[in-house]
Each structure stands twice: as structure tokens, then as C-alpha cells.
Amino acid sequence: MARDPQLTSRMGENARRACEDFYDKSIAIQGWASMLRGLSVTKEMPSAVEEDQTFRPEIADTVLTE
């Protein structure tokens, strides 16, 4: 690679493009939101004891689409 700077440059550009395609912030957020929507919240969970701490997908969808 040290002898071929053009190849090195192309490989770097390809790596950046692949990384952005798979790890872009908006893609990652959508993945996390999807995973969280699949979780169920029960009263046994300490975070769900107070109503204002209950996960509400309709709010998450609004935040993620803005």
C-alpha cells in the first residue's frame, strides 16, 4: 500500500463509505428505537413505577422523525 497511494486513497474512501452506510447516526438511532419498541415495560421494572418514565413509542417516533 505504501507504494500505491492511489490504491490507499481508494481503499480509505471505500472504508469510509461502508462505515457511514452501516454506522451512520440516524441508522443507529433507528435500530435502537426499533429494539426499544420491542421491549415490554411492566410495573415490576423500577423505571416504570412512575407513569412519566414509561416508554411511549409514539413520543419516540416523533423525536426520531424530526
Q: pLDDT of 16-38, one tens digit each?
A: 988 888 778 888 888 888 888 88
C-alpha cell at 21: 452506510
Max avg pLDDT among 12-16, 34-38, 58-62:
12-16
Cα 34–chain centre separation: 9
> According to DSSP H, which parts of 1-66 are helical?
5-23, 25-37, 57-65
pLDDT at residue 15, as a whole number? 92
- pTM to 2 decimal places: 0.38
Q: Residue 24: its pLDDT value, please?
A: 80
